[in-house]
Amino acid sequence: MKPKHFQVTSACTAVNHILARVGDKWTVLVINYLGNGSMRFNELRRTINGISQKMLTSTLRGLERDGFVTRTVYPTIPPRVDYALTDLGRELLVPVRGLADFAIQNEQRIANARARFDNATGVADIAASFAEAAE
């Protein structure tokens, strides 16, 4: 579990790109909800709660561009557009959920670490008169 780091070549670009995509504010939520089946635009909009039209549109565009979701337009009136995960999208769901599981399982440890850190740093002046050594 030690010798090789990743190749610092095109692999890095690929990894970086995925990370950037997955790390943006809404992508994972969209992928996740779409994981339960196809959805219409406004359906997603309502479900995700808090996302703006613009962000939903651009998130979906990006996902579509990279081949993670499909966009199906029904030329009815009013128009109807369905979004669904591709196979690639469903595959992406796996490692993403791995990360999500990690986040959920370690939520407390991270919160603790953060509290400890914040406590140890800036508050030093105020907390000076109290024993902070615990731990």
Partner DNA sequence: CTGTATCCAGCCTGATACTG
Partner DNA sequence: CAGTATCAGGCTGGATACAG
Query: Does 57 interact with DNA (rule: CB under 7 A)?
Result: yes
DSSP per position, 52-86: -HHHHHHHHHHHHHTTSEEEEEE--SS-EEEEEE-
Nearer to a copy of itself, 79 or 95 (CB): 95
Query: Does 79 interact with DNA (rule: CB under 7 A)?
Result: yes
From a copy of itself, DNA, none, which one binds at residue 70 (CB under 5 to 8 Å depending on kind)?
none
What CA–CA distance (Å, rounded) separates 121 from 123? 6
Residues paired with residue 73 on neighbouring β-strands, in sequence order: 81
Residue at 134: amino acid letter:
A
Query: Does 132 interact with DNA (rule: CB under 7 A)?
Result: no
Chain positions contacting a copy of itself, by CB under 8 A: 1-3, 5-6, 10-12, 14-20, 22-25, 28-29, 32-33, 35-37, 64-67, 88, 90-92, 94-96, 98-104, 106-107, 109-110, 112-114, 116-118
Angle at 51 between CA 45 and CA 53, to 5 degrees: 65
Nearer to DNA, 44 or 93 (CB): 44
Count, residues in the chain: 135
Binding site for DNA (CB under 7 A): 24-26, 40-43, 50-55, 57-58, 60-61, 71, 73, 78-81
